[in-house]
Homo-oligomer: A and B are copies of this chain.
Amino acid sequence: MDKARVTFFPSGRTVEVASGTNLMEAARKAGVFLDAPCGGKGHCGKCRVTVKWGWHRHENTPLLTEDEILQGIRLACLTWVLEDMSVELNEIDVVNDIMVEDITSGQSKKLVKRTLDILNSSGIKLGTSLRIVPVKLPTPTLDDNIPDLERVQRELKNILGSERINWTIDALRKLPIVLRECGFEITLTLLETKNGCDVINIVGGQKASIFGLCVDVGTTTVAACLVDMETGEIKTSANSGNLQMQYGGDIISRIIYSTRERGLQKLNEAIVEGTVNQLIKEMIKELAITEDEVVFSTFAGNTTMAHLLLGVFSENIRLEPYIPGFRNAPHIKAADISLNINKNAPVFVLPNVASYVGGDIVAGVLASGLWVSDETVLFMDLGTNGEIVLGNKEWMLTCACSAGPAFEGGEISCGMRATKGAIDEVRIDEHSLRPEYRVIGNGKPKGICGSGIIDLIAEMFLKGIINMKGKINQAVKSDRIRYNPNLNCFEYVVAFGCETKDGLDIALNEIDIDNFLRAKGAVYSGIRTLLNNVGMAVTDIDKVIIAGGIGQNLDIQNSITIGLLPDIPHEKFEFIGNSSLAGAYACLISNEARNKVQEIADSMTYIELSADPTYMEEFISACFLPHTDMSLFPSLKNALNL
């Protein structure tokens, strides 16, 4: 087969592929990131590139105009390499932009304090099984010539008594060198287990630093913190996109990709090496520490993310009867999954409840305090998909809504994650029908994130631009409303090219709105189904706690207006932020919290929506603005004068 070389700009990365290779595959092989929420099926239009030169074949798509085709713009997933090519990426690679953040302020700080208060008030003690043990050894002589390992053991016996010490190959390999670099004064980091003490790290001198890593493995966004394990203090945190996005935006696309040849391995590498190890690298640089000083780790993610993180075959999650490989992951070490922290550091993965309710939700329940609440709480994690938990300290029901990545901007033409350049708030002037918007980072906008889309749809609805079905009222006259011939539908322009970052119009079209309505409908019908299961109404909910990647600027009233949230008094709502990360943090600094999350996971009752007889009807009714049954939205009914 003929070979062709493809060069991607601006990075200049080059890859050799067989003639006939899909351009998306070539980009993956070159290590060039192209967003692909739809998994490369030609549906989402996110993988736009410009072909500068080179013979290739491409398939027609309504997502590109004739003008764009003439300019050389292509969707990478619908383009095949025939000869050497030069390709320019239209978007700067944002998924790999690691943001190192000061988590010690604002929302995150509040959540950490909230979580610690809950642990404290419910009697869950902080504290780990890590021990720092300085050891000063007599220098060997011809008369006292026992080997290095037995010399340390002899001294440890004096310090620790008869406790069994488990050495790893890694600790043994370091020992002879560290001992002699530091005049036979060393400090061991030990982890007490049921079987004695494991030697995790050895350093020279009479002091050692110990850090812990906690990670929220989101389908779209991955967030991590490094924690001082002596004080429990968060020292730094960072987040970035999940590099698995190039294999599909939602978990189903990724599970399907994982069944391809080497697919599981590629997805595993994308999360571990491509994402988490990069975050670790930035954070340890920030703190000027070594990988070996990071001696414990915890991970919270949905069931599929947990499987892909550990490299466990995940296809059965999506095939009936939906069986995960594991609920509680075995006791593994960082080296088992090629995590770039201390090789012997334990890796604790928060337990899954079911195929579509994972450790991130269990973490959220822990951090939100639902499990100790006297009141009936509705906990909602609105990230990619949307999982909800209803209950209190006596009982918990949970379900997963197949909302897809819409709340994080996925499968929306102008959608993006809640990061720099995203429009996260929108108002539309009643008379001019012109929008006002806020941009994260205050620069020019690049797209709209979840909270912005909610505002936009609510405002379009309230200002009469769209009807209950989400269709644009063609009778409304505005330069913002126009027909999109490629998509054969109408759209509303939020920002014209002259005001945007990359010169392209940002517009929300009817297909986008339809996608978003199905996402919010999935969540609202999930809430109703859980309530139906216990014979409750929305008015019986005492408190709604919202977490997840949808962003802290979520407007409660607008969310009620579009029928995403139940129509109950605003003071019952609380947005707590990334509760998955907060739960992982709690498990990092508290042995008892790790036991508690296992109890919580065991006590949650999972409702499979697709098997629930009332669900489908609920879903269809919830795909309208706000709902077909307006009696569920009394305040809105009044406001709209219905």
Residues of A within 8 A of B (CB): 140-142, 145-151, 166-169, 171-173, 175-177, 180, 194-195, 310-313, 315-316, 320-332, 336-337, 352, 354, 608, 611
Contacts and interface: CB of A to CB of B under 8 A. Distances in A.
Nearest to A139: B321
A477 B331 CA distance: 78
A151 B326 CA distance: 9
B145 A326 contact: no
A352 B149 CA distance: 12
A142 B320 contact: yes
Consensus secondary structure, chain A interface: loop
Contact of A312 (B172, B315, B331): B172
Contacts of A166: 330-331
A221 to B, nearest CB: 25
Given A148-B316, A172-B325, 8 more contacts: A147-B325, A147-B327, A148-B323, A149-B327, A149-B330, A151-B323, A173-B312, A195-B195
Given A169-B310, A169-B336, A313-B176, A147 B324 contact: yes
Contacts of A315: 176
A150 B327 contact: yes
Contacts of A168: 330, 332, 336
B147 A311 contact: no
The 7 tightest CB contacts between A and B, nearest first, are A167-B330, A149-B326, A169-B336, A147-B324, A195-B195, A176-B313, A142-B321
A148 B312 CA distance: 11
Contacts of A140: 321, 323
A325 B142 contact: no
Contacts of A175: 312, 325
Nearest to A167: B330
A31 to B, nearest CB: 25
A313 B148 CA distance: 11
A172 B327 contact: no
11 contacts: A142-B611, A146-B327, A148-B324, A166-B330, A166-B331, A168-B336, A169-B337, A172-B310, A172-B312, A172-B329, A175-B312
Contacts of A611: 142
Given A172-B312, A311-B173, A316-B180, A326 B142 contact: no
A542 B310 CA distance: 61
Nearest to A303: B147
A147 B358 CA distance: 12
Given A169-B310, A311-B169, A328 B142 contact: no
